[in-house]
């Protein structure tokens, strides 16, 4: 569909919001390692077939944003690059062929550009797409901009009771947890789980999600004030890892049996202790390595204890629906550390890098 047709065809006028992209629009762009600038860039064109135009409402920051800011060597990208991998938006315009969405809907945005037609995509295993083009905000332009065109199939409408900030935490923060705990670790009610870094974004989500199904939750944090906050979220036992070896405390709390599931995303610093924290036949699910990508492992322990180690990356689109349904029910809620505007990005990334956070840092564009 041509831009001229989209603008002039009266049948499409109802799909055009009064907040159509301004010229120019604001965006946060990475221009070199550790240098982000607020820039004026061209707005998106009218949406094509199967696309919608979104007014970006909120961007939640993650460690992938810190990695990109640092200039991680494995990221194939071209600068300048618009940052932001996790976000929500409001639909302002619909392209031809879009169904199930309306102007004014608040949506969570799936963060990877998948093909939609390979076997994995057809089966709903979106994060195993055989032809994925990359992750927005890391390999591809991200969402820290006022407007963006997105493929409609990569959007999930927020249910009633889930606002733009909460929807912004569905794609990575809560979606990752849903995928890790249920698709991969197969967490069951009544089991015991160790959640590392309970003050992190996904840590605060994992505590709540596990408690919502009736699990016993043990979590680790790095300061006294975080101990109280993690307990308030529902954690049954909170370990300050700066004062106690967490693996010893876990063995003590479980009567030397160990936990059913370890929720791991710290990496090298906690890996050996995580292996020692599992019961026979236990499952370790990991999605990150913020403290280092390599760690030694006792293979005899692995097979004698019949442990299972599961890698998990991102989530399926359907996990966004599950995450927001859980939010709408009141079983879980976003934990927000800091809210800032686009001009607060440098301080926000520095705070996230220092790990001096409890919950999420969110940039708002309203």
Each residue of 279-307: pLDDT tens digit? 999 999 999 998 988 999 999 999 999 99
By percentage, how much of the chain surpasses pLDDT 90? 86
pLDDT score, position 70: 84
pLDDT score, position 22: 66
pLDDT score, position 67: 85
Residue 25 · residue 146 · CB < 8 Å: yes
As a whole number, mean pLDDT of residues 59-72 equals: 88
Nearest-angstrom CA–CA distance, 338 and 317: 27
Closest C-alpha among 337, 351, 345 to residue 363 = 345
Nearest-angstrom CA–CA distance, 312 and 348: 26
207 band by pLDDT with thresholds 50, 70 and 90: very high
Q: What are 74's two structure tokens?
A: 């494995």
Is it the case that residue 18 has pLDDT exceeding 60? no
Q: pLDDT (tens digit, 9 = 90+) per residue, 120-148?
A: 999 999 999 999 999 999 999 999 999 99
The 10 Å Cβ neighbour count of residue 116 is: 14
H-state helical runs in the chain: 3-8, 63-70, 119-122, 164-168, 175-178, 201-212, 224-232, 246-253, 271-276, 299-304, 317-329, 345-354
- Domains plus CATH for the chain? 3-169+334-364 (3.90.180.10), 174-311 (3.90.180.10)
* Sign of torsion over alpha carbons 130, 132, 134, 135: negative
Q: Within 13 Å and on the Cβ side, how many CA atoms surround 282?
A: 24
DSSP 124-179: T-GGG-TT---BBTTTB--S-BSEEEEEGGGEEEPPTT--HHHHHTIIIIIHHHHI
Nearest-angstrom CA–CA distance, 209 and 72: 31
Q: pLDDT (tens digit, 9 = 90+) per residue, 248-277?
A: 999 999 999 999 999 999 999 999 999 999
């Amino acid at each position: 569909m041509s831009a001229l047709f989209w603008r002039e065809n009266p049948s499409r006028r109802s799909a055009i919001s009064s907040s159509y992209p301004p010229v120019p629009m604001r965006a946060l762009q990475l221009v070199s390692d550790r240098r982000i600038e607020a820039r004026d860039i061209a707005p998106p064109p009218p949406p094509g077939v199967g696309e919608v135009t979104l007014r970006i409402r909120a961007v939640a920051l993650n460690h992938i944003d810190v990695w990109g800011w640092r200039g991680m060597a494995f990221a194939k990208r071209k600068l300048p690059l618009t940052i932001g991998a996790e976000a929500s938006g409001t639909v302002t315009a619909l392209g031809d062929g879009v169904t199930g969405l309306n102007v004014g809907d608040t949506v969570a945005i799936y963060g990877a550009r998948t093909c939609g037609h390979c076997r994995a995509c057809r089966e709903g295993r979106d994060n195993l797409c055989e032809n994925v083009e990359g992750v927005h905000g890391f390999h591809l332009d991200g969402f820290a901009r006022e407007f963006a065109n997105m493929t409609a199939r990569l959007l999930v409408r927020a249910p009633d009771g889930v606002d733009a900030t909460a929807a912004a935490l569905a794609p990575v923060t809560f979606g990752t947890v849903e995928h890790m705990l249920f698709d991969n670790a197969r967490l069951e009610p009544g089991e015991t789980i160790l959640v590392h870094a309970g003050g992190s974004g996904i840590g605060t989500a994992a505590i709540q999600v596990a408690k919502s199904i009736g699990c016993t939750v043990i979590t680790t944090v790095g300061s006294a004030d975080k101990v109280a906050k993690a307990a308030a979220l529902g954690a049954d036992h909170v370990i300050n890892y700066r004062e106690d070896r967490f693996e010893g405390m876990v063995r003590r709390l479980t009567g030397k049996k160990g936990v059913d599931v370890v929720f791991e995303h710290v990496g090298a610093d906690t890996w050996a202790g995580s292996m020692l924290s599992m019961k026979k036949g236990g499952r370790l699910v990991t999605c990150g390595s913020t403290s280092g990508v390599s760690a030694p492992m006792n293979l005899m322990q692995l097979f004698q204890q019949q442990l299972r180690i599961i890698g998990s990356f991102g989530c399926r689109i359907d996990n966004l629906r599950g995450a927001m349904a859980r939010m709408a029910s009141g079983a879980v809620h976003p934990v927000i550390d800091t809210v800032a505007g686009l001009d607060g990005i440098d301080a926000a990334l520095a705070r996230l890098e220092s790990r001096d956070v409890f919950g999420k840092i969110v940039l708002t564009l309203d």
